[in-house]
Structure 1
Amino acid sequence: MRLDQALQQRGLVASRSAASRLIQAGAVSVDGKPATKASVEVFEQSSIELSPSPETEFVSRAGAKLAGVFRARPELNAQGYWVDFGQSTGGFTDCLLRQGAERVLGFDVGHKQLSTKLREDSRVCCVEACNLRTPWPVTRRIDPIEQSDMQTLRIIDRDEQLDMQMQLADLSSFDDQWPKAGAHGVVIDVSFIALSYVMPQAIQCIRPGGCCIALIKPQFELGADPVLRKRWFKDGLVHESTKLQAMLEDLVAPFKNMGLDFDVNRDVLASVLPGTSGNQEYFLLARRNRPIQAPPTTSSNTQRPMKNIPQPRSDP
């Protein structure tokens, strides 16, 4: 059997692609010897070990990205109740729990992706098959998934379109322990859609003064315009840093009209790890400090250029 297949079969990684990343990072050894290729043949009696690395510290490498934010901003407090938008395997959730979160309610469009470790954690509630673009309330009823634990829920699609209500979302129908005041914070990690599609719903989960930590993935924010993608991308990577900074400014500016407070020059941090395709990613750190307003059709506000994007420290 191939090494990458064996890693997945033994439950050491969530996917073969994750196994390949570990092997490339030099974090895998077979029978005491470092493995360099995913195609290496291993046997049932072979011993496979993972060495400590950003790829193995959390249930997914996303946890190492978020941990970099907490190292760079030690004043951030992860205690309390949090919402994880785009929970997937649970890297952000894993990091939040280690940082002291009391409970995490996660939403994801997929299903059965959350790691077994987190699925069995009483502090974690996972809502699956959820279209995060859908304004709250997202459903009228919830059904438990087959014979899995009651912490995991699947949202039943709505049969009618509901207008977005710009107020604090009541998530107690998903989690009976949810506080009426709202979440202390929300983390966002979504792919293949822009943040603007999910940010209004995410903000509605946060209590006034609560924290929003959103991962910005440039390749999904630049849109599908073939001219722009040809100009800004090369081999799938963003390659014009000046345009990238302008894009980041334009991207985060509208979020202020949704009730978030941040300084574009101070509160955009480079991720300590790149995306899986090699793109540099960024975190927006913000707080909800006023009621949500409908976003304007045009923006007259101009943000100052980000001369230096702060780089999180990579050491603990």
Structure 2
Amino acid sequence: MKYRLDQLLSRKHLTPSREKARGHILAGNVLVNDEVITKVGYLVDENVSLRLKVNERYVSRGGLKLEKALKTFSIDVKDQIVLDVGASTGGFTDCLLQHDVQWVYSVDVGYNQLDYRLRNHQQVTVMEKLNAKNLHPDLFDKPINLAVIDVSFISLTKVLSFVLSVLKDREIIALIKPQFEVGEQITGFKGVVKKAEDHLKALHLVNDYALSTGLFTQSLTYSPIKGPKGNREFLIHWSDRKSKEVIDFKAVIDQAHQELRD
């Protein structure tokens, strides 16, 4: 019997869901008989040899993104209280816990997405069905030192001020997804931003808004892996500490294009 590749990965418990299976396939992480297959609907026999190229250190690939940000930005989150906005299955939350945070508030507009291991973790407060625009200080019983943000289908400029309103320390690491910043006239029907100049436009759009709130840009890097559809993504660090360093956005974008080729 033949199955779709995403279906068989989930069926064989190589991934916890078909959604995660699709992400791995599109990222080129799935080998069928030692050959990389990037077509989600590729039909395979039930007894075919399947293998993932990546080490599942976190419950989702998002953990790898935040891990790079923490290392690149030299941020120590040990004993910190952190707000995870757009937690989804919990990649960022998992990464934070593995870096010894004291507590994580995991916020998502969705429901029942957070991995069960994190859902039952004694250092995690699960806050589901909560839109980032409805964040309010009264919802939190601990002072928040840092926010990490990974939202989809909405611009960061639409949620940033609400996140800032609940923080004790105005410190943020955000994943910038250009496809949700520049509009459909650039992404096209496939929802992918390919040109470096469009990435630059997206970064400046989001960063300029952050600066208007009184934040200062501390650092910028690119995600070590592409998004599910093949989009290059970027991680940025803001705080209210003045920074004399001038960040070369274009250099970071050029490096992303060199390292993560189409």
CA contact (8 A) 2:207 2:217 kept: no
How many residue pairs get matched? 245
Q: Which residue of 1 aligns with 2:249?
A: 306
Report if the CA contact (8 A) 2:182-2:201 is conserved. no
Aligned residue number for residue 219 of structure 1 = 179
Percent identity over the alignment is 30
Match of 1:170 in 2: 138
C-alpha distance in 2, partners of 1:260/1:50? 44
Deviation, structure 1 residue 85 = 0.3
Contact 2:182/2:198, CA 8 A, preserved across alignment: no
* Counterpart secondary structure, 1:183: coil
- List per-residue Cα deviations over 1:38-70 (Å, max 9, x = no partner): 532327xx9x8755616x221111111111112
> 2:54 corresponds to which residue?
53
Gaps of at least 5 residues in structure 2 are none
Alpha-carbon distance change, 36 to 260 in structure 1, aligned in 2, over 3 angstroms: same
Q: Are positions 1:272 and 2:224 aligned together? A: yes
Match of 1:150 in 2: none
Pair 1:26–1:195, CA change in 2 (3 A): closer
Deviation at 1:110?
Answer: 0.8
Correspondence list, 1:108-127, <5 A: 108-127=108-127
Instruction: Tell me, yes or no, if the aligned pair for 1:219 and 1:238 is still in contact at 8 Å.
Output: yes
Whether the 8 Å CA contact 1:90–1:118 is kept in 2: the answer is: yes
Counterpart of 1:152?
A: none
Q: Secondary structure at the match of 2:230?
A: coil
Structure 1 stretches lacking a partner, 5+ long: 138-168, 173-177, 291-302
The answer as to whether partners of 2:149 and 2:173 remain within 8 angstroms in 1 is yes
- In the TM superposition, what is the alpha-carbon distance from 1:200 to its structure 2 partner? 1.1
Q: Describe the superposition over 1:196-245 as per-residue Cα deviations: whole angstroms up to 9, x where unpaired.
A: 1111121123223x520011111101135xxxx24x65853223322431
- The separation in 1 between residues aligned to 2:7 and 2:196, in whole angstroms, is 38
- Gap change, CA 1:236 and 1:207, over 3 Å in 2: same
What is the aligned partner in structure 2 of residue 259 from structure 1?
Answer: 214
Partner of 2:66: 66
For 1:95, the aligned partner's letter is C
The equivalent position to 1:239 in structure 2, one of 185, 189, 194, is 194
TM-score of the superposed pair, with normalisation by structure 1: 0.67
TM-score of the pair, normalised by structure 2: 0.79
CA contact (8 A) 1:110 1:130 kept: yes
Q: Distance in 2 between matches of 1:122 and 1:128?
A: 17
Normalized per residue, the structure richer in helix is 2
Task: Give the Cα–Cα distance (whole angstroms) in 2 for the partners of residues 6 and 247 of structure 1.
Answer: 37
**C-alpha contact 2:31 2:53 (8 A) present in aligned 1:** no
